[in-house]
Each structure stands twice: as C-alpha cells, then as structure tokens.
Amino acid sequence: MKKDQVLDQRHRPLRDLRISVTDRCNFRCTYCMPKEIFGDDYQFLPKDHLLTFEEIVELTKIFVELGVKKIKLTGGEPLLRKDVYKLIAMLSKIEGIHDIGLTTNGVYLKKYGSKLYEAGLRRLNISLDAIDDDTFRRLNGRDVSAKTVLANIDYAVSVGFSVKVNMVVQKGVNDHQILPMTEYFKNKGIPLRFIEFMDVGNTNGWNMKDVLIKKDIVKMISSVYSIEPIDENYFGEVAKRYRHQDTGSEIGFITSVSEPFCSSCTRARISSDGKLYTCLYAHEGFDLRDFIRSGKSPEEIKMAIERVWQNRKDQYSVERTENKGMLNKNKIEMSYIGG
Ligand code: SAM
Ligand code: SF4
Ligand code: SF4
C-alpha cells in the first residue's frame, strides 16, 4: 500500500494513535472513574468485545499507512490487559512507527516493567497526583499508597525507561502538592507534567472553578524556583515545557482548558472495543471492529479511516473555552477512551 498524508477539515494531518487496551482499572480516581458510578455492578466490556492483539496490529499498520508515527497505549489501566507486553513486541516490529509509549498508574510496573522493556517499550507516562499519602489514597479511591507508585517510578528508571510523571491538578484537592511534587521530581531529574483538570466524560462533576490553570501553577512554582520556557520540540507537541534554570530538570503543562491546542491536534483514538474517535470529547465513534470482523480488506478499512479523518472538524476545547464552560454533550468516559 502507498503511504498517504490525510488531512482533516482543519488541515491537520493524522500523526498519533492512542490505543486503549482495556476499560477496566484497579484505581477509582475521583476525576476519572468515581467509585459511586464505577461500582461493583458496573458493566465493563465483555472480553470478546475487546480488539485482539492481532486486530490491533492490523489496524495500526493501516494507520501507519495514513501517516501515524507515534503510538500510545492507554486504558483504563493498560497493565491490566493480560500479556500486554506481547502486544508491545508485535507493535515494535511495525515499520514506520517512531515511538511507542504507555500511560499507566504505575502499580503493576514492578510486576511487568522488565517484560515491557524487553518487548521494546522505552517510554512511560506514570500518573501520580500527590506524594502526600492521605491525599493520594483519597484521590485514587483504592487506598493505594503513594510510596508504591514512587518506588515503581524508581524501578522503571532503573530498568532503563524514559519516564514522565503526570499530575492532574484540582483546586482545593491536591494543589497543595504542586510544590512538594516539583521539589521531589526536580531532585530526581524526572520531567513532571501538570494536567489541567478536564471536563471529560459525564461523571466527574467537573466545574471550571475547580480548574487550576497553567498561569497560576507557573506563578506558584516561580515563587520558589527559577524556571524558564523551552521551545516546542515538534509540531503538535502537547505539553508546554519549562526547565529549572539550575538543574535543567523539566516541567510541562497540558493546558487543555486555559490554552487549547486543538489547531495542532493530530491524534486519533481507538477504544478497547475498536471504535475510532477523532476527539477526546467525542460522543460517537466509528466501529472498526465490525469492519475487521466482517472480513473487509485492509484497503477498504483504510478508505473508511481516511473518510472519517477527512470529515473531522473537532475542536471541543477551543469551543469550551469560547463558551467559558462545559458544553452540553453526551461525551464518552476517559476510562473508556484513554487520556
Ligand atoms: N490508567 C492510566 C493512568 O492513569 O495513567 C491510563 C489511563 S488515564 C485515563 C490517562 C491519563 O488521563 C492519566 O494521566 C489521568 O490522570 C488523566 N485523566 C483522567 N481523567 C482526567 C481528567 N478529568 N482531567 C485531566 N486528566 C485526566
Ligand atoms: Fe484508572 Fe487512570 Fe482513570 Fe485513574 S486516571 S481511574 S488510574 S484510568
Ligand atoms: Fe484534540 Fe479534541 Fe483535545 Fe481539541 S479537544 S486537542 S481536537 S482531542
């Protein structure tokens, strides 16, 4: 198949693919899978609804034909998917992929870290919202200690992974952790990225007044540390990066609320049951699993994906910011589509 460049309605190319490998999670983060909603009787996807590794690989190859260069595996918690390291090994062999990453809450890294590394994974985004134990236990909804994740971050670094830590900031909930987290990861030399609390899904009770925006976080950090902005690495880089002037350690900001980056959004997402979404805030996906399982050829699937991307107009964050608040939409949940 010939390599194509496909552009959407806002002239954005398709470059990144986020693949969710499960909708299940061992955490119940209050801002993502509140336990009042994701309780014991919550109906997760049945196993046979999930894309198999072979189906994921088949689809990924087609996405690469359409311009994808970067893959990120996510979830739910991707390390809950049985033998996910085997999928990494299969994806690593696909020619044309420059980069494979995985986003995890870090709990199972001790168990699977070395297998993932051997399979070819090199980049990990590890989520951690506080180093204070009480705050972290409350936020993850499962009483897991921050020490567990901190130890696993050290372990991942010792295995050889390039690690970034992601912290979702909520005003009045964990903003008192911004400076301790900054100090801790500055000393470790591990990049720390602050994520503005987003109105993904319909269950996390999002309100603009709970969002601490980048400008205020920068002000808070600058009152103690000397930091300076760094230039963008590449078109569409999601994080706005800064560095500590003394050590060079990096911090970054994912500013979906205060400075939306839709104009350079080159990301497609596949849910674990094989639906293609062109925006984190979408409410409808295109069923690729049905295409594969009904025996459509790679060429037919490629044409279908191409059409979906060419029709893409999404820029939810820009519209929310213009609207100065959440837009009323029946959005998919973050744990279903992945971050
Ligand atoms: N379970 C893995 C983890 O937590 O890293 C991967 C999936 S999780 C949905 C991916 C990322 O989305 C995490 O960094 C998480 O903190 C972030 N996230 C989830 N809900 C969010 C929200 N409402 N606002 C901002 N970030 C959110
Ligand atoms: Fe699970 Fe990640 Fe969502 Fe937390 S943010 S509930 S770890 S999927
Ligand atoms: Fe991309 Fe949608 Fe997020 Fe905008 S709101 S950056 S289009 S995923």
* Six token digits for residue 322: 């213009």
Predicted pLDDT of residue 204? 76
Structure-model confidence comparison of residues 242 and 282, the more confident one: 242
Q: Tokens 């260069």, residue?
A: 69
Token pair listed for 151: 């130890």
The answer to whether 267 is annotated as binding is yes
Task: With respect to residue 323, please indicate whether it lies within any of the assigned structural domains.
Answer: yes
Alpha helices in the chain (DSSP H): 53-65, 84-92, 109-118, 133-140, 146-159, 178-188, 214-222, 288-293, 298-310, 316-323, 334-337
**Lowest mean pLDDT, pick from 143-157, 200-214, 317-331:** 317-331
Count of the separate structural domains present in the chain = 1
pLDDT band at 1 (very low <50, low <70, confident <90, very high): very low
DSSP 3-state helix, strand, coil percentages of the chain (rounded to 5)?
35, 20, 45
What mean pLDDT is predicted for residues 107-128?
98
> Residue 275: inside a domain, yes or no?
yes
**Segment 19-28 mean pLDDT:** 98
Tell me the pLDDT tens digit for each residue of 140-176. 999 999 999 999 999 999 999 999 999 999 999 999 9
Least confident range of 47-51, 99-103, 201-205, 326-330:
326-330
* Protein residue closest via CA to atom 8 of ligand 2: 76
Instruction: Supply the pLDDT for residue 123.
Output: 98
Nearest CA among 267, 290, 284, 277 for reference residue 337: 277
Arithmetic mean of pLDDT, 255-261:
92
* Closest ligand by atom to 329 CA: 3
Model confidence band, residue 328 (pLDDT cutoffs 50, 70, 90): low
Mean pLDDT calculated for residue range 111-135? 98
What's the whole-number average pLDDT of the chain?
94
* pLDDT for position 331: 75
Q: Is the pLDDT of residue 187 over 70?
A: yes
Annotated ligand binding at 164? The verdict is: yes
Under DSSP, is residue 168 helix (H, G, I), strand (E, B) or coil?
strand
Residues 6+ apart with CB under 8 A from 39: none
Higher pLDDT, 55 or 2: 55
What is the CA(119)–ligand 1 centre distance, in A? Answer: 24
Ligand 1 centroid to Cα of residue 130, in Å, is 14
In the three-class reduction of DSSP (H, G, I as helix; E, B as strand; rest coil), residue 64 is classed as helix
Q: What's the pTM?
A: 0.96
Kindly state whether residue 51 falls inside one of the protein's structural domains. yes
Q: How many Å apart are CA 72 and CA 238, to the nearest integer?
A: 13
Q: Which two tokens stand for residue 17?
A: 């693919």
| Residue 3, in any domain of the structure | no
Residue 146, domain member (yes or no): yes
CA of 338 to the centre of ligand 2 (A): 9
Residue 76 among known ligand-binding residues: yes
pLDDT average, residue stretch 187-193: 98
- Report the pLDDT averaged over residues 212-216: 97
Q: Which CATH number fits the domain that encloses residue 110?
A: 3.20.20.70
C-beta of residue 309 within 8 angstroms of C-beta of residue 6:
yes
Report residue 179's pLDDT band, with 50, 70 and 90 as the boundaries.
very high
* Averaged pLDDT for residues 78-94: 98
Categorize the per-residue pLDDT at 3 as very low, low, confident or very high, splitting at 50, 70 and 90: low
Which is more confidently placed, 55 or 5? 55
**pLDDT value at residue 334:** 80
Domain-located, residue 66: yes
Residue nearest to ligand 3 atom 2, measured at CA: 279
Q: What's the rounded Cα separation, in Å, for the pair 30 and 325? A: 20
Residue 32 Ramachandran class (φ > 0 left, ψ -120 to 50 alpha, else beta): alpha
Biggest alpha carbon distance in the chain? 60
> Has residue 5 been placed in a domain?
no
Ligand 1 binding residues, C-beta < 6 A: 25, 31-32, 74-75, 77, 103-105, 127, 166, 168, 195, 197-198, 200, 204, 334-335, 338-339
Q: Whose CA is nearest to atom 12 of ligand 1?
A: 339
The answer to the question of whether 12 is labelled as a binding residue is no
Domain carrying residue 297: 16-337
Residue at 329 is within a domain: yes
Q: Exposed/middle/buried for 246, CB within 10 Å: 0-12, 13-18, 19+?
A: exposed
